[in-house]
Structure 1
Amino acid sequence: MRVLAALSGGVDSAVAAARAVDAGHEVVGVHMALTRNRAQTRSGSRGCCSIEDSGDARWAAELLGIPFYVWDLSEEFEERVVSDFLSEYRAGRTPNPCVRCNERVKFDALLERGLAMGFDAVVTGHYARLSGGAADGHPGDPSNLRLARAADRAKDQSYVLAVSGMRGLSRALFPLGDAPSKAAVRAEAEARGLPVAAKPDSYDICFVADGDTRGFLERSLGSRPGPMVSPDGQVLGHHDGYFGFTVGQRKGLGLSRPAADGRPRYVLETRPATNEVVVGPEELLRRTSMKATDLVLLTEPGHESTWPQVSLQVRAHGRPVPATVTIDEAAATLSAELHEPLRGVAAGQSAVVYGGPDGDQVLAQATIA
């Protein structure tokens, strides 16, 4: 197959591209430039897709002997990820920009351009196991497609990939899905002579250069002072903008008075209409049910509408909990009854359902409402 290898400049994407070359594919490397802001140049790879990363990506491509290009996707990234991030916080929800980036840029935008240029599939360094579609030599065919957790559970990224859906995933290759560990991938990179073998992992939100998310939100959305209240409406303090807080947050509340019982307070809710941040005790964070919209199914036709023994995960590295999940395909919604309480569930988060014989297959994804 003729495939695009998304080279981020890190070790994972470099080894994934190398494995694609070994598999006999015609590979072309591409680095996605997601920002034109020079502040995105970092030391130590705090985030991904910075300017310094493009040089590392080019170096890896040269050693692999594959063509290499830099594609300017900064406009798509700004519109589909950054603007969405800000509008979600403005609406009082808690988005996951990595989920949106995987869906709307690293797959949608990359595939749009790649397919227009005659490529069959994309190769990335994500940790997830994928069968069917391009993974079995049938790009674009979603039948028998199966997305599952990576062999290395500590690095598993199936949670952020689920939103890509059957169409996107049917044209994807994840060569690192069966890698036993990140250490093994680094050792392979070193053995191949790749210069990024010891490069640190990226982390944090890539478009927040200093890692200060609240500061980024305040600079982008402005200051909007308002009350911080208890569940019964008692004013406990004040804040500079409800959008700077997220459900489950404990630190940085700025409250001078402790709770009457001496226990810590947590953010329970943000209310954009009244500009209030509601805080209270930890037990009020616990949820035993949830509803979600924008359903994405990753199951074969003929699935049941209710799954009584599955697990639900609401954070990229969160603990999955057993649940009974009911889907309404016509309305594109999902509802879940949790078999044990889950703490700090926030609107805007991605909910991913896992099941199958081993409990590691992705069945569906939706956005918590």
Structure 2
Amino acid sequence: MKKVVVGLSGGVDSSVTAYLLKEQGYEVIGLFMKNWHDDSVTISDECPWLDDSNDAMLVAEKLEIPFQTVDLSEQYKERIVDYMFNEYERGRTPNPDVLCNREIKFDVFMKIALSLGADYVATGHYCRKDEFEKDGKTIYKLLAGKDQNKDQSYFLCQLTQEQLAKTLFPIGELQKSEVRRIASEQGLITADKKDSQGLCFIGKVRLPDFLQQKLKPKEGVIVEVPANTEIFSEEKVDFDSKIEELRYLSKKYQYQSSLGKIVGKHQGAHYFTKGQRKGLAVGGTPEPLFVIDTDVEENVIYTGQGKNHPGIYRKALFINTEEIHWVRKDLSLKADQEMNVKARIRYRQPLQEATLYQTENGMYIVFQEPQASITEGQFVAWYLEDELIGSGVIS
């Protein structure tokens, strides 16, 4: 009997994960990760992790599996929270869920599980794993979940071959409705529990409230840039080289306040992210305003009217060499190589046709169609068919 440690989060997905593994004959241990109890950063009066850990314990009791809680709040603060504050301060928008998987669940947590003698770690992610032999070596594939609405492969885009080797995703073949049905049939307390909407494992927290704990409000102006501003005009350019063209396509627009008019005030550019519409509190425009860029140095938010504003769209992005990650190292590109893939720049975005261009100092991704709100600090993930083969941080 192989031993599996399941990250029981107190939600329905991980509950059914534990049930299925037990049915398959594994020796299953439930482990709840406690990732937050810093009262100096009060997030809300509710204490969701307590409810969640109680639910996880009740599920373990029902399934008759051993259960314990591990406190990872110190590592979580260091690796996720501090990193997030730092990124927001720089005017980038990190993805805490991708980081939480890379740094906590599949690193710190996995090491604890393996130290308990586990052969595998299992999570309630909607994704699948496959393997094949190549040159006498086992290679693992990270595949999209069967439920297209719930596919969570994007959140696991930073995993390595070593981590995949030790991981199981029992619900990857199922639809969410089937998972709920199984939980209900087995009388699990989490069967009808709503999916959590908070930061990974911190629970119910609104990001702006959270950021305000550490990043002090600072009043600045909101500038509206008209769609017919000259910087958006399509100029015909002749390029001397492919690199020159790639640089041009992935270049950000350079905004300054003189390009538009001041339409409002805000409490800190670092609370806003590209593509954001809510929270600007500026009325009276024929079409709603969207954030097209933020300048944390000057503390200015640049906006444009309507979701078709040219400032929202770009055709290409760049990833610095040290932030390129290949899940499938055997497929990685060398300088001057290219590859046609499908890519997404955010969770649940439909996959987009794109081409990777590897250069000496980083990788360009050029999309067939211009993409809305390409955001620095977020992850872009690329796929062949339904296999996620690599990812990187948009720079």
Class of the TM-score when normalised by the shorter of the 2 chains: 0.7 to 0.9
In the aligned structure 2, how far is the partner of 1:209 from the partner of 1:5? 19
The structure with the larger Rg is 2
Deviates more, 1:317-326 or 1:149-158: 317-326
TM-score, normalisation: structure 1: 0.87
1:191 aligns to what?
A: 185
1:155 aligns to what?
A: 150
1:214 aligns to what?
A: 208
SS at match of 1:200: coil
| CA shift for structure 1 position 268 | 1.5
2:310 aligns to what?
A: 283
In the aligned structure 2, how far is the partner of 1:207 from the partner of 1:279? 33
In the aligned structure 2, how far is the partner of 1:267 from the partner of 1:319? 22
In the aligned structure 1, how far is the partner of 2:35 from the partner of 2:169? 21
Does the alignment pair 1:24 with 2:25?
Answer: yes
In the aligned structure 2, how far is the partner of 1:40 from the partner of 1:30? 25
2:90 aligns to what?
A: 91
Partner letter of residue 176 of structure 2?
Answer: K
Does the alignment pair 1:268 with 2:295?
Answer: no
CA 51–111 in structure 1, closer or farther in 2 if over 3 Å, else same: same
Q: Is the 8 A contact 2:197 2:203 kept in 1?
A: no
CA deviation profile, 1:56-100 (whole Å, cap 9, x unmatched)? 111111121211110011111111111112111111011111111
Partner letter of residue 166 of structure 1?
Answer: Q
Does the alignment pair 1:64 with 2:63?
Answer: yes
TM-score, normalisation: structure 2: 0.82
In the aligned structure 2, how far is the partner of 1:142 from the partner of 1:130? 16
Structure 1, gaps ≥5 residues long: none
| CA shift for structure 1 position 242 | 0.6
CA 132–353 in structure 1, closer or farther in 2 if over 3 Å, else same: same
| CA shift for structure 1 position 304 | 4.6
In the aligned structure 2, how far is the partner of 1:142 from the partner of 1:35? 40
Deviates more, 1:83-92 or 1:249-258: 249-258
Q: How many residues in Structure 1 have an aligned counterpart in Structure 2? A: 349
Does the alignment pair 1:6 with 2:7?
Answer: yes
2:249 aligns to what?
A: none
CA deviation profile, 1:245-295 (whole Å, cap 9, x unmatched)? 10011232233563xxx4433211112222222222422110100012311
Does the alignment pair 1:363 with 2:357?
Answer: no
CA 210–149 in structure 1, closer or farther in 2 if over 3 Å, else same: closer
**Paired residues for 1:1-369 under 5 Å:** 1-36=2-37, 42=46, 50-132=49-131, 143-179=138-174, 181-206=175-200, 211-229=205-223, 230=225, 231-234=255-258, 235-236=261-262, 237-255=264-282, 258=285, 262-281=286-305, 282-293=309-320, 294-299=323-328, 301=330, 303-305=332-334, 306-327=337-358, 333-355=362-384, 359-369=385-395
| CA shift for structure 1 position 40 | 6.4
Q: Is the 8 A contact 1:2 1:121 kept in 2?
A: yes
In the aligned structure 2, how far is the partner of 1:203 from the partner of 1:125? 15
| CA shift for structure 1 position 200 | 1.3
Q: Is the 8 A contact 1:41 1:52 kept in 2?
A: no
CA deviation profile, 1:135-158 (whole Å, cap 9, x unmatched)? x9xxxx983200011000101100
CA 30–336 in structure 1, closer or farther in 2 if over 3 Å, else same: same
In the aligned structure 1, how far is the partner of 2:183 from the partner of 2:204? 29
CA 64–208 in structure 1, closer or farther in 2 if over 3 Å, else same: closer
Partner letter of residue 355 of structure 2?
Answer: T
SS at match of 2:138: coil
In the aligned structure 2, how far is the partner of 1:4 from the partner of 1:299? 25
In the aligned structure 2, how far is the partner of 1:307 from the partner of 1:272? 34
Partner letter of residue 193 of structure 1?
Answer: G
In the aligned structure 2, how far is the partner of 1:66 from the partner of 1:279? 53
Q: Is the 8 A contact 2:304 2:311 kept in 1?
A: yes
CA 287–18 in structure 1, closer or farther in 2 if over 3 Å, else same: same
| CA shift for structure 1 position 42 | 4.7
Q: Is the 8 A contact 2:198 2:204 kept in 1?
A: no
In the aligned structure 2, how far is the partner of 1:78 from the partner of 1:348? 18
In the aligned structure 2, how far is the partner of 1:304 from the partner of 1:348? 22
